[in-house]
Amino acid sequence: MKISRRSFLKAATAIGASLAWVGPARGSRVHWHERRDLYPQGVASGDPDPHSVILWTRRPFAQGTRQLLTVEVAEDQAFRRVIAHAKTPVSSAEDWTARVLIGGLKPAHTYWYRFTDADGNGSRVGRTITAPSPDDPRTVNFAFVSCQDINEGKLNAYRRMIYEDERAPEAEKLGFVLHLGDFIYEVVQYPDEVKTRYDRTIYEVARFTEGHKVGNFHIPLTLDGYRAVYKGYLADPDLQDARARWPFVCIWDNHEFSWMGWQSIVKAGSFERPGQTIKVWANQAWFEYLPSRVTRSGKVLERFDPPAVKDVPIKEFDGDGLGVEPNNIIAINSLIAYRVLRYGQHLDLIITDQHSYRGPDPFSDPSLGKLGGEEFIGMSPEPLMQILDGGRAFNGGNPPPEIQFNDAHVPNPNRNAPPQTILGKEQKPGSRKSSRARRRRGRSGATHKARWMSAPIRRTCPRVSPRSPGPQTRSPSWAVLIMARRTPNAPRSTTSCATRRSRASASCRATGTPSGPDTRPRNFRPASSIRSA
Ligand SMILES: [Fe+2]
């Protein structure tokens, strides 16, 4: 199905991008000469569908508040067959970032793109790949990554990924990179304050003029603070090369906003405060630096247009655990990033937001600290976890007034709290949006439905590996892939897998052959034990 120009314009407006439509191929008429130094964060592409993709760059100017760039898309790397050519603005209001939605492309096709300013100063050349059409039976190859921390290491997993992809057979080359979050860590250590953490060297990322310090960590509390962190991360050459080689599909984890935060509440260790303005700023910076098909609050093409909010304590929550304080709702809805993307006949990517709608950590009440005692510090048996998780809804609405473990007895701190939620009402099956999306998918359901999330939501079968003894490693954390598989004649079955996600990347292949009751998706293959973030 081809998208019409009208719906394409609507889509570009919704995601805040300029737009360009493909025309007949011709030679470039732009006097481009490469000046990578003027495009210090490189180029990128994001969220491809069979006929369009978003292209991105950042070109800061010392003078003025708005300038125009030319974007070109070509069928060849030498730009002899340019098929799209358009002007796109960059402005100081958007930190000089540009987003262009290119429409009218062919499915499963490779294209090259570049940006040029009025003086011919050009970005590097980027490469992107459109998604296969929904009836394309070929295998989809992609890699997923998460938790990249340049404060404590380098992103050389991308270098290895590029190295392997360059040498892979054509049918096994990656189509896109799925970033499961923690693209940045907003908690930043300064190398002049901290030399090492565990066995890792601390590298410079960013400095905050208006931030807050928790222990050795500085956290941003302004838009400029978040922007500075993105710029610090995108200075990494391996990340820049990866973004110039493949389209990325991104969703945030916690650190794109706040380490222990939830909804619009900022929390970092003992520091906790209402953070509606900070949530909006974190969303704006994410929108500016990661080109994605997300819904923003603004109505103006090409701009985030942040809503005005105040930092107000959130005291009341509805039955689904959502803080009803109006500024909280506005801040959360300033950027809606959960979405569904389709890749060929075999893959629906269901991308979820696990932080904007969730409740507080049900184990965060300080009184619970004594439960495990000296013997089981920080540990709780599952029945106790279920009581805390269930809140006021536990046991049919009759939660126990007291909980106990070992010899400790404490009042149940969640007795009157809403039941814990991670996805919130909007993303759960049964919601209006969810039903609409399901109906759409149902018309042309893919062989595999992959729900991607940034943190485990249920107990799985983690393969725990000891922390690598080498330098620059991080303690392990986990990502979970839950794949619901189905074939036209077989009942749906669910399986799950977990992979080490600390500085880890893995590659996946979605094929048309559902597997048996293995605990891992068929053809799942961890990449070489690459150290990433
Ligand atoms: Fe992380």
- The tens digit of pLDDT for each residue in 393-424 reads 999 999 999 988 877 888 999 999 888 888 88
CB contact at 8 A, 88 and 71:
yes
User: Could you list the residue range(s) of the whole structural domain that residue 398 is in?
Assistant: 366-411
Judge if 126 and 192 occupy the same domain.
Answer: no
Question: Would you place residue 469 in the very low, low, confident or very high pLDDT band (cuts 50, 70, 90)?
Answer: very low
Over residues 217-236, the pLDDT tens digits come to: 999 999 999 999 999 999 99
Judge if 267 and 396 occupy the same domain.
Answer: no
Judge if 70 and 141 occupy the same domain.
Answer: no
Judge if 215 and 330 occupy the same domain.
Answer: yes
- Residues 425 and 2: their CA atoms lie apart, in Å, by 33
Rounded to the nearest 10°, the torsion over CA 466, 470, 471, 477 is -20
Taking the CA of residue 282 as centre, how many other CA atoms within 13 Å lie in the half-sphere pointing to its CB? 35
Residue 373 CA to ligand 1 center (angstroms) comes to 28
pLDDT of residue 432: 58
The overall pTM is greater than 0.75: yes
Return the HEC string of 96-150: CEEEEEEECCCCCCEEEEEEECCCCEECCCEEEECCCCCCCCCCEEEEEECCCCC
- Whether 463 shows a pLDDT value over 70: the answer reads no
Residue 182 CA to ligand 1 center (angstroms) comes to 5
Please say which residue of 73, 101, 130 terminates a domain: 130
pLDDT of residue 487: 28
Question: Would you place residue 173 in the very low, low, confident or very high pLDDT band (cuts 50, 70, 90)?
Answer: very high
**Residue 288 neighbours by CB under 8 Å, 6+ apart:** 94, 95, 97, 227, 230, 304
Cβ-based burial of 166 (10 A; exposed 0-12, middle 13-18, buried ≥19): exposed
Over residues 20-73, the pLDDT tens digits come to: 899 999 999 999 999 999 999 999 999 999 999 999 999 999 999 999 999 999
Residue 142 CA to ligand 1 center (angstroms) comes to 20
- Residues 106 and 142: their CA atoms lie apart, in Å, by 19
**Residue 119 neighbours by CB under 8 Å, 6+ apart:** none
Of residues 7 and 100, the one with the higher pLDDT is 100
Residue 447 CA to ligand 1 center (angstroms) comes to 30
Query: Around ion ligand 1, which residues have CB less than 5 A away?
Result: 147, 182
Residue 456 CA to ligand 1 center (angstroms) comes to 12
Is residue 416 one of the residues assigned to a domain? no
- Whether 132 shows a pLDDT value over 90: the answer reads yes
Question: Would you place residue 482 in the very low, low, confident or very high pLDDT band (cuts 50, 70, 90)?
Answer: very low
Over residues 289-317, the pLDDT tens digits come to: 999 999 987 777 778 989 999 999 999 99
- Residues 327 and 325: their CA atoms lie apart, in Å, by 6
Residue 52 CA to ligand 1 center (angstroms) comes to 30
Over residues 249-281, the pLDDT tens digits come to: 999 999 999 999 999 999 999 899 999 999 999
- Residues 297 and 306: their CA atoms lie apart, in Å, by 7
Judge if 140 and 229 occupy the same domain.
Answer: yes
Residue 501 CA to ligand 1 center (angstroms) comes to 8
Judge if 335 and 392 occupy the same domain.
Answer: no
Question: Would you place residue 369 in the very low, low, confident or very high pLDDT band (cuts 50, 70, 90)?
Answer: confident
Judge if 337 and 282 occupy the same domain.
Answer: yes
Is residue 533 one of the residues assigned to a domain? no
Residue 53 CA to ligand 1 center (angstroms) comes to 27
